[in-house]
């Protein structure tokens, strides 16, 4: 199981030195990936930088750690532009991007970005197909319901061809989301309780098999926060997540009332406890 960490960007805000130090310490401590949330226009959702831009800056401060926006609200964004931004980030980081995507649930944000909130599921599935075309072929011809590309493409292509696409779905996702994961995704952010994981995973696997895909190639990532938990409590939750069979785990130091130094100390303590377990 690969263990990464969530970058506490809402709490570190514009302290760029603290953001750099957190990312570098996470890498030095052996955490495998760094997750950053997405927000474009959601008043009241907290201080948050655009994730692809922020991760391009972090790419220059790190060498090995995987960079994971989780999750970009894909149907609210223009597909070819996002493909170019992601390809550039993958190039700048030496192939370290794992792109988390989702459909979101905020109609006002879709309206502000000029996209149709009610078509977001269909558009997301189509966008995933187009993104993979744009990331693997120098010239693309694509005729879809939402996007048309006529003998055009990206240069340069990303290092990873294609960039991995992971889908997020909170709670117990509906069949439409589980089907999208099974048919199109490289992985799933399993934002569910450990007891619900098995049944949801079985449904994803069935959709994958129906689409002629190998379910074993679809990864899964859960998260564990330390807020209001003793070390024994959060370590027990880590073990519960591990027993479900997830391939990735994300540790969180969020919402603990920590300053920049406190986040670094918590990160080091998490690593120490995990190594001793």
196 lies in a domain? no
| Alpha-carbon span 30 to 23, nearest angstrom | 11
For the cut 80, the answer to whether the pLDDT of residue 170 exceeds it is: no
Question: For residue 27, how many C-alpha atoms fall within 13 Å in the half-sphere facing its CB?
Answer: 17
Token pair in block for residue 158: 């990303």
Quick check: 205 and 182 in contact, CB under 8 A? yes
Model pLDDT for residues 23-36, shown as the tens digit of each residue: 999 999 999 999 99
Model pLDDT for residues 109-160, shown as the tens digit of each residue: 999 999 999 999 999 999 999 999 999 999 999 999 999 999 999 999 999 9
**Residue that wins the pLDDT comparison between 43 and 28:** 28
Phi, psi of 266 (to 5 degrees): -65, -40
CA angle 64, 261, 94 (to 5 degrees): 15
Radius of gyration of the chain (CA): 18
62 lies in a domain? yes
Q: Which residues contact 261 (CB under 8 A, 6 or more apart)?
A: none
106 lies in a domain? no
Among all chains, which residue has been given the structure tokens 């060498």? 63
| Of 21, 227, 164, the residue nearest 7 (C-alpha) | 21
The DSSP code for 97 is B
Q: Give the containing element (helix H, strand E) for 69.
A: strand 66-69
- Residue-level pLDDT at 39: 87
Token pair in block for residue 149: 């590309």
Q: Total domain count for the chain? A: 1
Model pLDDT for residues 232-256, shown as the tens digit of each residue: 999 999 999 999 999 999 999 999 9
Omega before 59 cis (within 30°)? no
3-state secondary structure of 183: helix
| Alpha-carbon span 76 to 267, nearest angstrom | 33
* Domain limits for position 35: 1-66+233-277
CA angle 23, 255, 27 (to 5 degrees): 15
For the cut 80, the answer to whether the pLDDT of residue 268 exceeds it is: yes
| Alpha-carbon span 192 to 169, nearest angstrom | 8
- Residue-level pLDDT at 239: 97
203 lies in a domain? no
| Alpha-carbon span 179 to 215, nearest angstrom | 12
23 lies in a domain? yes
168 lies in a domain? no
Model pLDDT for residues 200-215, shown as the tens digit of each residue: 999 999 999 999 999 9
255 lies in a domain? yes
For the cut 80, the answer to whether the pLDDT of residue 45 exceeds it is: no
171 lies in a domain? no
pTM score, two decimals?
A: 0.96
């Amino acid at each position: 199981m690969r263990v990464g960490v969530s970058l506490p960007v809402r709490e570190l805000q514009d302290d760029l030195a603290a953001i750099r130090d957190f990312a570098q310490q996470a890498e030095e401590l052996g955490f495998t990936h760094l997750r950053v949330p997405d927000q474009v226009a959601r008043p009241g959702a907290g201080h948050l930088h655009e994730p692809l831009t922020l991760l391009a800056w972090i790419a220059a401060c790190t060498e090995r750690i995987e960079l994971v926006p989780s999750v970009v609200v894909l149907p609210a964004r223009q597909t070819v532009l996002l493909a170019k931004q992601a390809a550039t980030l993958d190039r700048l980081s030496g192939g370290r991007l794992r792109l988390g995507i989702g459909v979101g649930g905020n109609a006002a944000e879709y309206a502000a970005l000029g996209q149709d909130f009610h078509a977001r599921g269909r558009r997301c599935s189509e966008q995933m197909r187009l993104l993979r075309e744009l990331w693997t072929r120098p010239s693309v011809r694509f005729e879809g319901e939402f996007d048309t590309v006529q003998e055009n493409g990206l240069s340069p292509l990303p290092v990873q061809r294609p960039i991995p696409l992971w889908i997020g779905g909170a709670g117990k996702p509906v069949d439409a989301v589980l089907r999208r994961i099974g048919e199109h995704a490289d992985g799933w952010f399993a934002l569910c309780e450990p007891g619900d994981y098995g049944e949801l995973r079985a449904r994803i696997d069935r959709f994958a098999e129906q689409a002629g895909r190998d379910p074993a190639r679809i990864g899964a990532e859960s998260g564990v926060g330390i807020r209001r938990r003793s070390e024994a409590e959060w370590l027990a939750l880590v073990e519960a997540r591990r027993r479900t069979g997830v391939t990735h785990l994300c540790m969180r130091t969020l919402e603990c009332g920590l300053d920049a130094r406190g986040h670094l100390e918590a990160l080091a303590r998490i690593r120490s406890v995990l190594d001793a377990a």
